[in-house]
Amino acid sequence: MVKWSSPKAGKRWYNRSYTISRRSMRPIAMGLHTEMYSAFARGNVNALKAKCTEGIFESFRARIAGRKKGEVLKWELLKYNGSPKVVADRGALIPGMDGMAIRQAVVRIASKQRLTKEVGGKVVEGSEKSKDVLEYVVVQQKVHRWQVEGWKLWGTTKESTLEDVEEWKRRALSGHMTPLRSPDILTIDAI
């Protein structure tokens, strides 16, 4: 449980609490992951907007708009390769913005997936193959004016390697503080 102070009517301060349950993260991330890929395959922009943050939503919207006429995708989650695992779970108050906070969690999901592409009612040769995919799904929840909003899928990221950390350290020491790489925007090309 996390506690912070927040104003209520009459300029008095009260403690408010927000329960952080890591146990709920796996099913939340798994559900958003499945709903997002299914909505993308169906071309359902409204469902994507409801389940994704703006950055990844815009990426999917552009990709759906760029599909050829008559192109249909079908995404299937065939099985999980092991149990998804919460690898990071962080939250923070946003400084200077009363009643604003953000929480992000990263869940590692290993699965076997299939993306089938049809054009003109015919399956595109080779598209029906299944793949083992390892994804680090980032889910996000915001608190706005002390009201907790629902979870949304932010995107995916990559696991940092020892080489990445050494490169960041080398860049920091040389005065180049730019990141080695930015997190990936979740793309269905990974499938």
The pLDDT of residue 145 is 84
Rounded CA separation 73/91 (Å): 36
Q: Using the predicted structure, report yes or no on whether residue 170 has a pLDDT greater than 50.
A: yes
**CATH code of 49's domain:** 3.10.450
Share of the chain above pLDDT 90, in %: 52
Q: What is the three-class DSSP state of 153?
A: strand
Rounded CA separation 43/96 (Å): 39
Q: Decide if 123 is inside a domain.
A: no
Rounded CA separation 169/153 (Å): 30
Confirm if 102 and 138 have CB atoms less than 8 A apart.
Answer: no
Q: Decide if 127 is inside a domain.
A: no
Q: Find the mean pLDDT for residues 24-30.
A: 92
Burial of 11 (0-12, 13-18, 19+ CB in 10 A): exposed
Q: Decide if 191 is inside a domain.
A: no
Is pLDDT larger for residue 15 or for residue 182? Answer: 15
Confirm if 19 and 36 have CB atoms less than 8 A apart.
Answer: no
Q: Using the predicted structure, report yes or no on whether residue 36 has a pLDDT greater than 80.
A: yes
Burial of 133 (0-12, 13-18, 19+ CB in 10 A): middle
What is the domain range of residue 57? Answer: 2-72+82-113+133-185
Confirm if 156 and 184 have CB atoms less than 8 A apart.
Answer: yes
Q: Decide if 119 is inside a domain.
A: no
The pLDDT of residue 43 is 95
**For 95-134, how does the pLDDT look when each residue is reduced to its tens digit (9 = 90+)?**
888 788 999 999 999 999 999 999 988 898 888 889 999 9
Q: Decide if 190 is inside a domain.
A: no
Q: Using the predicted structure, report yes or no on whether residue 2 has a pLDDT greater than 80.
A: no
Residue type, 108: R
Q: Decide if 145 is inside a domain.
A: yes
DSSP 185: P
Q: Find the mean pLDDT for residues 42-68.
A: 95
Q: Decide if 128 is inside a domain.
A: no
**For 124-148, how does the pLDDT look when each residue is reduced to its tens digit (9 = 90+)?**
888 888 999 999 999 999 988 888 8
Strand 130-144 relative to strand 152-157, pairing: antiparallel
Rounded CA separation 157/135 (Å): 8
The pLDDT of residue 182 is 41
Closest to 185 in 3D by CA, of 45, 56, 74, 88: 56
What is the number of domains present in the chain? 1
Confirm if 152 and 141 have CB atoms less than 8 A apart.
Answer: yes
